Amino acid sequence: MGAINCIGILTSGGDAPGMNAAIRAVTRAAIFNGFEVKGIYRGYRGLITGEIKPFKTENVSNIIQQGGTILKTARCQEFQTAEGRRQAYETLQREGIDALVVIGGDGSLTGARIFAQEYDYPIIGLPGTIDNDLYGTDLTIGYDTALNTIMEAVDKIRDTASSHERLFFIEVMGRDAGFLALNGALATGCEAAIIPEISTEIDQLKELVENGFRKSKNSSIVLVAESPHTGGAMQLAERVKNEYPQYDVRVTILGHIQRGGSPSAQDRILASRLGAAAIDALLDGQRNVMVGIRNDEIVYVPFSRAIKFDKPINRELLNTLRRLSI
Ligand code: F6P
């Protein structure tokens, strides 16, 4: 592997608040250490089509507070093909880009891993997803902001739920992970969280109703993680309407509001630390690792581990939620 002079940076998959702060940190830390930087637009698609622009420090001014990603993002099918990756490699050679920093979630890091192996190419990954579902890091960039967005939305819904004495199922994102639902429920004093991680163990809805979840309350809110395993909020609401018709049920699907907004202080700080650490990783000779954070320390997690293992939920949180929702 030759010397690294120029570093390319891209964001891929679902956007997440704090991606801009990460782009800024990678760019500035790279320039500080004497590297050239190039911004690659629209994720892996931009690698294939050559949408690339040199980045100076001023390209990343005034973006730390902005949601979304100035580099744009995409879910690129072509990069999943050998031909797409070949074109991407040709672009990198033509542009003189010697290493990549990829900011994204599970799918994006899976693509990075395949490409890095196929072309023996140095890539550093940064965990950028609201889902918080990457193994080996306590937090992902965007998760805290999304959690705060959920909190604000649920607080508002609680006003109307309590005025009308209704049962609300509120569906949150997370793909196949229940971190947003579980911690969102704790943060808003919800009656329960229905999450994919325990969906095969128990019938969470049945348990909820049979435990008399409205014992001392005139309204209830249940957070539901989107996932085929939970069935989603709509399906659960239908079940309640059929099996427990005494409840006045409503459904809210929070949707993409969870992906937007100015990043929280925690996400800005996390993105800044991880972005700078990505450059340290390259300087250390690290290759094909995701930079993460564990117990407030920077860690390097091989791609194979970050994407292969399921990040476990903390079951203590479930117990706490159960105990506090009586
Ligand atoms: O991975 C982030 C995420 O927001 C998931 O929580 C959600 O399932 C998915 O992306 C939605 O993706 P899209 O915006 O492509 O519909």
Q: What digits encode the pLDDT tens for the residues 278-322?
A: 999 999 999 999 999 999 999 999 999 999 889 999 999 999 999
At CA 6, angle to CA 60 and CA 137, rounded to 5?
65
Query: Which residue minimizes the CA distance to atom 2 of ligand 1?
Result: 14
Q: Is 326 exposed, middle or buried (0-12, 13-18, 19+ CB in 10 A)?
A: exposed
CA of 105 to the centre of ligand 1 (A): 10
- Looking at residue 13, what is its pLDDT? 97
> Does the Cβ of 173 fall within 6 Å of ligand 1?
yes
Percentage of the chain with pLDDT > 70?
98
Between CA 263 and CA 148 the distance in angstroms is: 10
pLDDT digits (tens, 9 = 90+) for 207-235: 887 776 656 677 899 999 999 998 999 99
Q: Work out the number of other CB atoms within 10 angstroms of the CB of residue 118.
A: 12
> Does the Cβ of 131 fall within 6 Å of ligand 1?
yes
Reference 181, options 207, 161, 165, 199; nearest CA is 199
Query: Which residue minimizes the CA distance to atom 15 of ligand 1?
Result: 14
CA of 175 to the centre of ligand 1 (A): 7
Which residue type, as a one-letter code, is found at position 252? T
Q: What is the DSSP string of 44-65?
A: HHHHHHT-EEEE-GGGGTT-TT
Q: What is the DSSP string of 107-155?
A: HHHHHHHHHHHHHT--EEEEEB-TT---TT-S--BTHHHHHHHHHHHHH
Q: Which of 180, 259, 311 to mutate to test the pocket of ligand 1 (most atoms within 8 A of CB)?
A: 259
The span from the first CA to the last CA of the chain, in angstroms, equals 60
- Beta-carbon contacts of 277 under 8 Å, excluding residues fewer than 6 positions away, are 291, 298
In CATH terms, is domain 6-142+263-308 a member of 3.40.50.720? no
pLDDT digits (tens, 9 = 90+) for 180-200: 999 999 999 999 999 999 987
Q: In the predicted model, what is the mean pLDDT of residues 132-142?
A: 97
pTM for this predicted structure: 0.96
CA of 268 to the centre of ligand 1 (A): 21
| Average pLDDT of the residues of the chain | 95
- 228-242: burial string, b at 16+ Cβ within 10 Å, e else: ebbbbbeebbebbee
Q: How far is CA 253 from the centre of its chain?
A: 18
CATH 3.40.50.460 occupies which residues in the chain?
Answer: 144-259
Taking the CA of residue 174 as reference, the ligand 1 atom at the shortest distance is 6
Q: Work out the number of other CB atoms within 10 angstroms of the CB of residue 95.
A: 16
> Does the Cβ of 14 fall within 6 Å of ligand 1?
yes
Alpha-carbon dihedral angle through residues 80, 81, 83, 85, given to the nearest 10 degrees: 30
pLDDT at 2 over 80: no
Q: Work out the number of other CB atoms within 10 angstroms of the CB of residue 134.
A: 27
- Looking at residue 214, what is its pLDDT? 59
Q: And the tokens for 134?
A: 């990457």
Between CA 147 and CA 130 the distance in angstroms is: 8
Q: In the predicted model, what is the mean pLDDT of residues 25-52?
A: 98
CATH 3.40.50.450 occupies which residues in the chain?
Answer: 6-142+263-308
CA of 6 to the centre of ligand 1 (A): 31
At 3 the three-state DSSP class reads coil
Between CA 135 and CA 301 the distance in angstroms is: 8
Say if CB 127 and CB 292 are below 8 A apart. Answer: yes
Protein fold of 144-259:
Rossmann fold (3.40.50)
